[in-house]
A and B are shown apart, each in its own frame.
Chain A
Amino acid sequence: MTGAGFFRAAGVLAAKDLSIEWRTREGLSAMVLFSLIVLVVFSFAFDLATIKQLGPARLVPGILWTTLAFAGVVGFTRSFQVEARRDSMTALLLAPVDRGALFAGKSLSNLVELLILEIVVVPLSAVFFGYDLMAMLGPMAVVVFLHTLGLAEMGTLLGAVAAKVGRGEALLSTLLFPVTMPLFISAVKCTNAVLEGEELSTVSNWLLVALGFDLLFLFVGLLTFEYVVEE
């Protein structure tokens, strides 16, 4: 299979997933509502005095990434439920494309959905916990993108594993959270630095951890996805 064919197949698959999502808006609306609820639960979990005392820079990174990881699990599970409903995964497997392209396409559509979710959730967190997002938009976007990429890759690969054995969110979360732990630590550290108004160069080692994670598991996913989905 040629390189161009690989990218075209991945693009077509991602476009298919996103157009299904665009027509039903089931997945994204579930993710957005769920994130909203988690954010509200968090603001009750810490009382106002604690929130004021800790300040957004110490509080928001943990809350934000926990919310996004939870919402991600909802999205990843759904992304394979859609295929299971009419057994369209079999049809995808029959298509004469590299299985790696299936992984790339699914990861891409999951990534886009997560990014759309973040466009809603990150400003919401700024409103709820009182920090000036506009002043740090650039660095925040870089941090959010780098860590969401790894989350989407791992969520796609492990989501396929959970779907294959017919288990949903429960299995996916027990697999996904330990594996993405380094990414999670890095995300919290980087977001904290951004909220403190520091330059991104101060957390360059963490950005490298995230980038390394993204690249390593992109590679692993492309190679192993075939073993997960095959019949």
Chain B
Amino acid sequence: MTSGQNRWTLALTALVLIAMFVAIWMVFQYVPNERVMGPVQKIFYFHVPAAMITFLSVFLLMASSITYLWTRNQRWDRISLASTEIGLMFCTLVLVTGPIWAKAAWGVWWTWEARLTTTLILWLLLAGCLMVRGYAQNQDLGARLASVLGVIAALDVVIVYKAVHWWRGQHPIVFKSGEKNPLAPEMYTTFMYCIGVFMALFLLMMILRVTVLALENRTQALAERRTGELS
């Protein structure tokens, strides 16, 4: 990584850090409590953006997996691996924050509702992609197998969502904020702001992870060349 790139990454890190503190302030101080659900509803400002990032990661995973299989350029595999890891992390966040809200609002930690079930299956699929990479004897094989799994996972999620939706019938509580109680302006601002911050966080994590993976590959290649020269 050149020093110019380094400076930009550092600037983005600082920006995300400050923006995240502002987001926390907005969620706890600026935005009013929701009338019916009370303060617990505030988890939405983190839960929904996390879910959006999860699905963005899956989309990126599919695109980079296909491109990797097509071009065999390791750059795409690094993006594919990074989006699997980041997707899995945000998916975990969704699965943790969701039940906290559900316990307060619905009275249960978990219900087999379409979105919840789909997210859980998605978590398992992403974990499977990482597992196969871990088991593979070499990086190239892991990259190929994980890319095939990545494509399968992304396509499968769509069918899973449709199937679970029908399986449970209409899901019990539909969160349609647009209709019954339109969001207060502060709520809308905070929500949009949080989405922006999470996008920036995603971008930062992507850049850092891909950079580290690229450095790892380079170090490995150098070490291999060194052993070759010595022997």
Chain A residues proximal to chain B, CB less than 8 Å: 157, 161, 164-167, 171, 174-175, 178-179, 181-182, 185-186, 189, 205-206, 209, 212-213, 216-217, 220, 224, 227-228, 230
Q: How far, in whole Å, are A230 and B143 apart by their CA atoms in the complex?
A: 13
Nearest-neighbor residue (CB-CB) of B142 within chain A: A165
Do A185 and B164 have beta carbons less than 8 Å apart? yes
Contact of A171 among B121, B131, B144 (CB under 8 A): B131
Do A165 and B132 have beta carbons less than 8 Å apart? yes
Q: How far, in whole Å, are A206 and B147 apart by their CA atoms in the complex?
A: 29
List B contacts of A175 (CB < 8 A): 128, 131-132, 149
Contact of B151 among A161, A186, A212, A220 (CB under 8 A): A220
Q: How far, in whole Å, are A182 and B147 apart by their CA atoms in the complex?
A: 21
List A contacts of B151 (CB < 8 A): 220, 224
Q: How far, in whole Å, are A217 and B137 apart by their CA atoms in the complex?
A: 26
Contact of A179 among B125, B131, B135, B166 (CB under 8 A): B125
Given A174-B124, A178-B125: A161 touches B163 (CB 8 Å cut-off): no
A209 → chain B, closest Cβ, in Å? 6
Q: How far, in whole Å, are A165 and B136 apart by their CA atoms in the complex?
A: 5
Given A171-B131, A174-B128, A185-B167: A179 touches B147 (CB 8 Å cut-off): no
Nearest-neighbor residue (CB-CB) of B126 within chain A: A178
Q: Map CB proximity to A onto B151-163 as digits: 1 under 8 Å, 0 otherwise.
A: 1110110011011
10 A-B pairs (CB sep. < 8 Å): A164-B145, A165-B145, A181-B156, A181-B160, A212-B159, A213-B159, A216-B159, A217-B152, A224-B69, A228-B148
Do B159 and A227 have beta carbons less than 8 Å apart? no
Do A182 and B152 have beta carbons less than 8 Å apart? no
Nearest-neighbor residue (CB-CB) of A177 within chain B: B124
B194 → chain A, closest Cβ, in Å? 30
List A contacts of B148 (CB < 8 A): 157, 161, 224, 227-228
Among residues 23 to 55 in chain B, which have CB atoms less than 8 Å away from a CB atom of chain A? none
Q: How far, in whole Å, are A205 and B149 apart by their CA atoms in the complex?
A: 27
Q: How far, in whole Å, are A227 and B141 apart by their CA atoms in the complex?
A: 9
Given A164-B141, A175-B149: A182 touches B163 (CB 8 Å cut-off): yes
List A contacts of B124 (CB < 8 A): 174, 178
Q: Map CB proximity to A onto B172-196 as digits: 1 under 8 Å, 0 otherwise.
A: 0000000000000000000000000
Given A179-B125, A179-B156: A228 touches B163 (CB 8 Å cut-off): no
Q: How far, in whole Å, are A228 and B124 apart by their CA atoms in the complex?
A: 20
Do A165 and B135 have beta carbons less than 8 Å apart? yes
Given A165-B135, A166-B135, A217-B152: A209 touches B159 (CB 8 Å cut-off): yes
List B contacts of A178 (CB < 8 A): 121, 124-125, 128, 156
B225 → chain A, closest Cβ, in Å? 24
A220 → chain B, closest Cβ, in Å? 6
B121 → chain A, closest Cβ, in Å? 5
List A contacts of B166 (CB < 8 A): 205-206, 209
Do A171 and B163 have beta carbons less than 8 Å apart? no
Do B164 and A161 have beta carbons less than 8 Å apart? no
Contact of A167 among B121, B135, B167 (CB under 8 A): B135
Given A175-B132, A179-B125, A220-B152: A165 touches B141 (CB 8 Å cut-off): yes
A173 → chain B, closest Cβ, in Å? 10
Nearest-neighbor residue (CB-CB) of B159 within chain A: A182
B158 → chain A, closest Cβ, in Å? 9
Nearest-neighbor residue (CB-CB) of B72 within chain A: A227
A56 → chain B, closest Cβ, in Å? 20
Given A178-B121, A224-B69: A161 touches B160 (CB 8 Å cut-off): no
B176 → chain A, closest Cβ, in Å? 24
Contact of A220 among B147, B155, B167 (CB under 8 A): B155
B133 → chain A, closest Cβ, in Å? 9
Q: How far, in whole Å, are A220 and B148 apart by their CA atoms in the complex?
A: 9
Among residues 112 to 142 in chain B, which have CB atoms less than 8 Å away from a CB atom of chain A? 121, 124-125, 127-128, 131-132, 135-137, 141
Q: How far, in whole Å, are A220 and B147 apart by their CA atoms in the complex?
A: 12
B165 → chain A, closest Cβ, in Å? 10
Do A209 and B163 have beta carbons less than 8 Å apart? yes
A225 → chain B, closest Cβ, in Å? 8
Q: How far, in whole Å, are A230 and B144 apart by their CA atoms in the complex?
A: 10
